[in-house]
Structure 1
Amino acid sequence: MKKLAFIFLMISTVALAQRGNKDSNRIGIGGGLTQLNIFTDNFTVTPESGWIGGLSVRGNYYNNWQMSFGMFFTDSNFSIPTQKGLLQTQTSFKMSAVQIYIVPSYVAIPDHLNLEFGPVLQVNGKLTIDDSDENNILLDQPTLLAKDILDVSKFNANIYVGINGGIKNVRARIGYQYGLTNFFGNLNNNDKIELLGEKMKGNIGLISGQITIYL
C-alpha cells in the first residue's frame, strides 16, 4: 500500500503541473462514513457502518467536464447471522481496503455541484473478525464456521456514481459503489466450500458520505 500511495502522489504532482493553477485544480483531503452491503444468495447480510478517508485531485478536463482521481483507505463492515454456543447472534466482518478511482465528473453548477461516475479499483486483505467469533457457525451454511469465509477476493472492480457539492474549498461527497467482480470468488477454492456443491458469489454495495477540504 505504501507503493500505491507513492504512485498516487507522483501522478497528483504531474497532473497539477500540467493543468496550471486554476481554481478547479486542487488536492483534496477527505473523510467520512460508509455502509457496506454484500449482495449474495449464499448468506443473509446486514449492512454496518465504517469509515473512509484519503486524498484526491480534481482538475479541468474539457468544457464542463472535470476529472478526479484519488486514493482512499476504508474499514467497512457487514454482519451475518451465526450460532455461538446456545445463542444466535450477528457476527461482524471487517473489510480493510485501499481504493483507487479515476472519476469523470460533469460540472452542473461551477464551483458548487459536480455529478460523478467512473471505475474504482479496490485492493483488500482477508476479512477480519473478533478472535472469539472464529468458530461461530454460519446459520445460512451450517457446515461452515465464520473463519471459513475470511479469504475473499483480493482485487475487486467497482463502479462509482455520486454527487460532489458545496463551495469551492469545502465539498460534501455522497456516492455509491457497486462491485462488478465476485467478492466471494476466492472462497470457491476452499475445500470445505467445494464440498457444499454450491458456488459462492457476492457483489459489493458501498454507500459513502464524505467531507472533502480542497487545498
Structure 2
Amino acid sequence: MGLKGYFLMLVLLFFSWQSFSQRYPKDTYNSLGIQAGVNYGGLTSDDLSFTRQIGFSAGLSTRANIYNKFIFLYGLNYFQYNSGMEVMEQGSGRLTETFFETNGVQINFFVGHKIIGDYLSIEAGPVLQINSKFTPEEGLENAKIPGYNLVAGDLEDISKLNFAVAGEISA
C-alpha cells in the first residue's frame, strides 16, 4: 500500500460522519439521519490467533420526540467486519495470511432523554444483529489452520443472530 493508501486509511479511521436532514422547528426536534463509519477490529480467541482488519458501516436512523424531554430513536445499519489469520496453503504448506469477512445488519431501538435541549442527549436500548457467514478469502477455504485439525472454511459457521444492549451520548 502506497503513501496515498495509508493517508486514506488514516483519514477514514479518524473521521466518521452523521448528517441529519429535514430539520423541523425547534420545538419538535424530529430528524432523519445518515451515518457512516470505519471500524478496525477482529476476533479475540484464547485458541486461535486473529489479526485486526478494517471494515465499514453505514445506515439510516430517525429520532423523534415522545414527551417533553424524552426521545425515541430507531435505525438500520449495514456493516462489514473483517479479520485475518495465518493459514497453511493446501499443497505447498506455506504460511500465508487469509482474510475473513462477515456482512450483516444491525437494527436498534433506543429511548433517550434530552439533557441540554437539542444539543446533548443520552440514549439506550436493544440492538439486534443479523450476520452472514464468516467467509475466508476465495481460494483459501481449504487452507489448514496450523496446530488444529481445521481448515479455514470450517470457521464459516458463526452465530447468525445476536442480541445486545447499547447506550450512547449524542451531541
TM-score (normalised: structure 2):
0.72
Identity %: 30
Structure 2 CA distance for partners of 1:158 and 1:92, relative to 1, 3 Å: farther
Structure 2 CA distance for partners of 1:137 and 1:26, relative to 1, 3 Å: same
The correspondence of residues 29-44 of structure 1 with structure 2, limited to 5 A, is: 29-44=34-49
Task: Indicate yes or no: 2:77 matched with 1:72.
Answer: yes
Counterpart Cα distance in 1 of 2:85 and 2:143: 10
Q: When the two structures are aligned, how many residues end up with a matched partner?
A: 145
Instruction: Name the SS of the counterpart of 2:136 in structure 1.
Output: coil
Counterpart Cα distance in 1 of 2:168 and 2:42: 17
Alignment match, 2:87:
82
Could you tell me which amino acid in structure 2 is paired with residue 66 of structure 1? Answer: I
Query: Of the two structures, which has the highest relative contact order with CA contacts closer than 8 Å and spacing of 6 or more?
Result: 1
Could you tell me which amino acid in structure 2 is paired with residue 33 of structure 1? Answer: V
Counterpart Cα distance in 2 of 1:86 and 1:56: 48
1:63 Cα deviation after fit: 4.1
Aligned CA RMSD, in angstroms, stands at 2.4
Alignment match, 1:158:
164
86, 92, 117: which one aligns with 1:110: 117
Unaligned runs of 5+ in 1: 1-19, 166-215
User: Post-superposition, which runs of at least 4 consecutive aligned residues in structure 1 deviate over 6 A?
Assistant: none
84, 97, 100: which one aligns with 1:93: 100
145, 155, 161: which one aligns with 1:138: 145
Q: Which has the larger radius of gyration?
A: 2
1:42 Cα deviation after fit: 3.4
2:28–2:65 Cα contact (<8 Å) kept: no
The correspondence of residues 9-20 of structure 1 with structure 2, limited to 5 A, is: none
2:143–2:152 Cα contact (<8 Å) kept: yes
Alignment match, 2:31:
26
Could you tell me which amino acid in structure 1 is paired with residue 108 of structure 2? Answer: Y
TM-score (normalised: structure 1):
0.59
Can you list the C-alpha shifts for 1:47-104, whole angstroms capped at 9, x where unaligned? Answer: 3221111111111234433221111111111122322344333321111001101122
Report the structure, 1 or 2, having the larger helix content: 1
Structure 2 CA distance for partners of 1:136 and 1:122, relative to 1, 3 Å: same
Instruction: Name the SS of the counterpart of 1:53 in structure 2.
Output: strand
Could you tell me which amino acid in structure 1 is paired with residue 33 of structure 2? Answer: G
